Structure 1
Amino acid sequence: MTRGSTLPAHPLSPLSGCIAIPAQTRSSPTPLLDGFNTAPVDEAHRTLLTCLRSVSWARRIADHRPYPTLDALLAASDEAAYDLTWADLAEALTAETLPALPEDAYGAAHTALSAAHAAYEARFGHAFVISLAAVPPDERLDRVLEGIRSRLANDPEDERVVASEELRHLGRARLASRFRGTGP
């Protein structure tokens, strides 16, 4: 006994066998990114070192040019930052300084920040770094003071991880600012 199909035949659509491919939007590089992509390697290194003072990070990003979009450059920045050794991170940390206080900050804020930073450097042996890219300007002083105080309780190994993540964020934010035309 043979069994046939139990379902009625379904008529095929006239587009049967065609594949729908979504439209791909690809933003073109900005003039600043075009200039970076075509710059001599030493110029590209200098540009990158203004964003994060790690020679290996800058070399890795420059060596993988050209970048079709800013997002591709930022992804490369993240990847290069994740692969930094402790020596590379230490190199980058030596060039970092505390974020500038707002011009209208009162004297006690300067004193509190200086004391907190000195305690941090004494405990961990490097500058305190924190990315303030997403923090409104009027909240930055509080965020820095809160960050230093809370991170002083970290184990040195844990703080290394936090500091490296903050450096990654700083490098990314500085690159984005530079190549959007809003940075130095």
Structure 2
Amino acid sequence: MTNHPHTLDSLAAADPAELDEILLEICSSPRWAAAVAEARPWSSREALLAANAAAMARLTAEDLHDAMSGHARIGEPRAGDAASEREQAGVQGVDRAVLDELHKANAAYEAKFGHVFLICATGRTAATMLAALRERHPNDPATEAEIVRGELRRINDIRLGRLLDES
């Protein structure tokens, strides 16, 4: 994620191409980024988070796949991707057996749903993420899509908050 200081005012005043780049670092769905940008100017942090929630609610299945494509597989944070490494800190230094179980459970989930298992990993241990993966695997695709939508919203809320807090 860019390390530029941002305030609500600076984000609202950003050039459309710059804002698009910033928002796509938060969530890789172009439709989400466009919807959040269209809601500007945001009167408060809460208004920006409400724009995130409204944009997430309108994403199609294809848009959700776009959003998930920007996320690393649980248990395999992307090297050099500070957000991925920070968000999946709970898998750092974990026992190899747990990582192996995560890998197997991820593969089964991906075979069933056609996308990575997505969970707001911030503050979660590898064991709790593995338990959630196993708990959600029996879901039907429609139920799982709505859970993913909620997890993406939480991740975006954290990332948007961090974007503002780093200023």
TM-score normalised per structure 2: 0.81
Larger Rg computed on CA atoms = 1
Which structure is higher in RCO with an 8 Å CA cutoff and minimum separation 6?
2
Map of 2:155 onto structure 1: 170
Q: Does 1:57 align with 2:32?
A: yes
Map of 1:105 onto structure 2: 94
Aligned Cα root-mean-square deviation (Å): 1.8
Which of structure 1's runs of 4+ aligned residues deviate more than 4 A?
none
Measure, in 2, the Cα distance between the counterparts of 1:102 and 1:145: 10
Quote how far apart the aligned CAs of 1:31 are.
Answer: 5.1
Secondary structure in structure 1 of the residue aligned to 2:28: coil
Amino acid of the structure 1 residue aligned with 2:143: D
Verify the 8 A CA contact 1:131 1:170 in the aligned structure 2.
Answer: yes
Unmatched 5+ stretches in structure 1: 1-29
Percent of aligned pairs with the same amino acid: 32
Map of 1:130 onto structure 2: 119
Verify the 8 A CA contact 1:93 1:126 in the aligned structure 2.
Answer: yes
Measure, in 1, the Cα distance between the counterparts of 2:55 and 2:6: 24
Q: How many residues align?
A: 149
Structure with the bigger percentage of helix = 2
TM-score normalised per structure 1: 0.74
Measure, in 2, the Cα distance between the counterparts of 1:127 and 1:102: 16
Amino acid of the structure 2 residue aligned with 1:169: R
Map of 2:60 onto structure 1: 85
Unmatched 5+ stretches in structure 2: 75-87
Measure, in 2, the Cα distance between the counterparts of 1:31 and 1:162: 30
